[in-house]
Chains A and B, each alone.
Chain A
Amino acid sequence: MYRPPASNDVWVVAVGYYVNTSSSWRPLAARWVNSGSNDLSLPPAPSGNDTLLFGVTIDSQAEIRAVGFNGSYTGTGNPFFERWNSTSGWLTPYVGLDNGSLHAVAQVPTDPNTAWMKDIWAAGKGASGSLSPVEHNDAIDWQPVSHPNSNSLYGIAVNSIVMGGEPTMSFSASEAWAVGNYTSGGVQQTLVLHYTPPAVPGAPRYTISNYVETTDETVLKQMGCNAQARGETGIHVLDFGAPRNWSAATPNATPTYGTQLTGPPPVKTVTIPKIETMVANFADGLAIPTCAPSGPPPLQPRRLMVAIGTSNDIEDPPHNALNYGHGIAWGTMVAQANQYSIDQGYSDRITFAGAMDIEQGSNPTATPSGGTATPVWGNPTPVTDWINGYVAASGGYDFYNFGSCDGCDPNPAGGAMAYGWTPAAVYNVSYGIYLHAYPLPEIYYFQPGSDLAEQWRRTSLAGAGMSFGIMKSHGVMTEDQPTTSNSPDQGWNQLWQALNFDPTGRTAYDPPFSTQITQKQK
């Protein structure tokens, strides 16, 4: 049943089957809108087969999902899926790979703002000797879910799970119950199958990363000291802002690479040699013995990956700096910083890596009226150029993408990723085409329409058939904006849930680290 918004109508949908004059079994679907009945006019099912529908559900966006059987009524066949929406009508049906038929379908209701997320389950009866099929749809596709029972399932129900105080959100899958029967000793017994997502393990301790808004090396040394005092282990990002080339205005000049630091005006800038000095000071502070926390030594040695970050910028459209040469300079700087760590005897505790806050674009429709549009972020090509330079010069030290995946979902309706970005392109720059590249995704917010964790799960899925397979995020980055942001544990839990609740296990992973970035210069 479905109630269209702002209407007194009530829809009731039903599915079934009939035998036509050629003695073939054909699917049937009907919709009643108040007193009238409308045949939904199913398109012809795959020819030459019997097709029957046994179960149906309709969601809050009036999308109908029906399941059944396609094959030989007296022989074998496969699960069959039909889908209808008010925009496109019946879409191309899908025939599952399992043997058997589906008898029931159910889905978690979704908030209109999260209509791009689905959590649909179907269950049924296996062919003789086959497992009873259980299928799950996460809005990407239908996937069979393995289970141990060779039986018949006739009904299924789902239950949304409250996570992070947001019961209307789904995290790739929720709780499901299927009922049916099985045979034991020649006696039919009641069967209840229950899928409950895996328990979320405790989030790792988080480090506190920094937007570097100062050019004062002593502040960096203090940041390092503070990191040691907190007993940090994991990844600590030092974000030096947007790449710049200070001699770009002079034709044929040797580039003078650096960055423009984040923060309110006035604009502050640093050259790459200056950044190297600053991160060396951070390492010095991290190694000061008096900065160590008091008490007994840790049970495991503390190690910190200090990721020296820049961004793909929003204010460098000619890409004077977001280019191969800047990547070379950055990679060289990271290699030299590591050499400094080795020289100083820090290398058992401190490793430097390169990093970039890679983003895809602002939402142009959200530009405040009368204001200045926030420029969109760069397209993938200069980012790839930059990373190629980094990889060529860094000597294999890791690279982290601590960015977002804006537009990785199709919300708002009709929305798309900006300027050539695709989930596959995000996968490539984060993980897929570089041996030493890893994502450290921003999971800043959790609100309808901005489920960043689910976006990253989908980005990971984009790589399922590509070079390195699904992404192994090294951790999660949150931000210390108390009004709007996830806490470190909330952000990490959300990514963990998105990756691991999928009952097929295809994106399962346990990100080992967590960090929270702050504008505070501590």
Chain B
Amino acid sequence: MLVLRTSLTVILLCGTCLLLQSCGQQHAQMGSPLLASPVPDPSPAPFSLDNLTATPFLSPTPDPGVAAKLTAIGGPDATMSAWGTVFARTPTRPPGTPPPTAPPHTPEPLNRPLGIGSPSLGYRPCPCTFANSWIGRLNDKYILVWAGGWDRQPDHGFLMAETENVADGEPSGWSFYDSPVRAGGLTILSANGLRLTIGAGNGQQFVFDASTFTWANP
């Protein structure tokens, strides 16, 4: 048995060795994706502000996709889409003309409207759908709470909340608070100070303390 197992191993190793040689050579010639051994994975260079100027970084290399696209269509202005290339063309304004001026700038106070409002943000911070929102104020910060549910888990409701400096609008960044139990998508029903009554899709109600971003007992 031992002899047989050894023989099988030798055959396997021989076969694999031959494959390694022939595969490797032919792979280079044929561009085959089937390999006999994996390719080492080079570690990516870490992103750091400290080494931005000292480390070579990827691009701007010519884009083969652009080249393929240009080959396909050609045309006199084809190279204009080569990345980073700017062509001087017939000016749309006389050279040297300053850009259109905007009205003098007045620093804009945030003036967030307080209370329950629209779910609109203008962008999607998560794979989710919002029902409505609430904005409150605590000292020098706005508190923003959006209520909704995850798109792929309709029974999973959550609140998304952040604070913002009233003075400069600096946001803390959104954080997410799942409902205490899965009860469907959430809606902000009412606010009593900074305590929000939250309704769930199945009729359950919860209370969210917007001063601490925690769920409270109703």
Write out the residue numbers on chain A whose beta carbons fall within 8 Å of the beta carbon of B181: none
Q: How far is the CB of B73 from chain A (nearest CB, A)?
A: 5
**CB proximity to A under 8 Å, residues B80-132:** 80-81, 83-89, 91-93, 95-97, 99-102, 105, 107-108, 111-113, 117-132
CB of B68 within 8 A of chain A?
Answer: yes
Complex: chain A residue closest to B157, CB-CB: A368
Write out the residue numbers on chain B whose beta carbons fall within 8 Å of the beta carbon of A242: 122
CB of A201 within 8 A of chain B?
Answer: yes
The distance in angstroms between the C-alpha atoms of A357 and B124, with both chains bound, is: 11
Interface of B, secondary structure class, is loop
B22 CB contact (under 8 Å) in A148, A194, A481: A148
- Say whether B44 contacts A374, CB under 8 Å: no
The distance in angstroms between the C-alpha atoms of A404 and B127, with both chains bound, is: 11
- Say whether A191 contacts B69, CB under 8 Å: no
Contact bitstring B12-47, A, C-beta under 8 A = 1, else 0: 101110110011001100111111111111111101
Write out the residue numbers on chain A whose beta carbons fall within 8 Å of the beta carbon of B154: 365-366, 368
- Say whether B15 contacts A190, CB under 8 Å: yes
- Say whether A298 contacts B52, CB under 8 Å: yes
The distance in angstroms between the C-alpha atoms of A412 and B33, with both chains bound, is: 33
The distance in angstroms between the C-alpha atoms of A338 and B81, with both chains bound, is: 13
A368 CB contact (under 8 Å) in B57, B176, B184: B184
**CB proximity to B under 8 Å, residues A355-380:** 357, 359, 362-363, 365-374
- Say whether B129 contacts A374, CB under 8 Å: yes
- Say whether B187 contacts A368, CB under 8 Å: yes
CB of B173 within 8 A of chain A?
Answer: yes
Known contacts A241-B122, A265-B118, A300-B56; is-contact A191 B37 (Cβ 8 Å) = no
Q: Which of A1-9, A32-40, A42-50, A271-279 contacts B (4 or more CB under 8 A)?
A: A271-279
Q: How far is the CB of A400 from chain B (nearest CB, A)?
A: 11
Write out the residue numbers on chain B whose beta carbons fall within 8 Å of the beta carbon of A299: 55-56
The distance in angstroms between the C-alpha atoms of A195 and B52, with both chains bound, is: 37
Complex: chain A residue closest to B38, CB-CB: A196
The distance in angstroms between the C-alpha atoms of A341 and B36, with both chains bound, is: 52
- Say whether B157 contacts A205, CB under 8 Å: no
Known contacts A193-B34, A342-B88, A371-B119; is-contact A484 B185 (Cβ 8 Å) = no
CB of B77 within 8 A of chain A?
Answer: yes
The distance in angstroms between the C-alpha atoms of A509 and B35, with both chains bound, is: 20
Complex: chain B residue closest to A404, CB-CB: B124
CB of B147 within 8 A of chain A?
Answer: yes
Contact bitstring A377-403, B, C-beta under 8 A = 1, else 0: 000000000000000000111100000
Most buried by A among B60, B87, B95, B170: B60
B81 CB contact (under 8 Å) in A182, A196, A396, A412: A396
CB of B180 within 8 A of chain A?
Answer: no
Write out the residue numbers on chain A whose beta carbons fall within 8 Å of the beta carbon of B186: 368
Q: A202-B43, A371-B132, A521-B169 given. 8 additional CB < 8 A pairs?
A: A189-B15, A196-B37, A202-B42, A215-B108, A299-B56, A311-B122, A338-B86, A480-B173
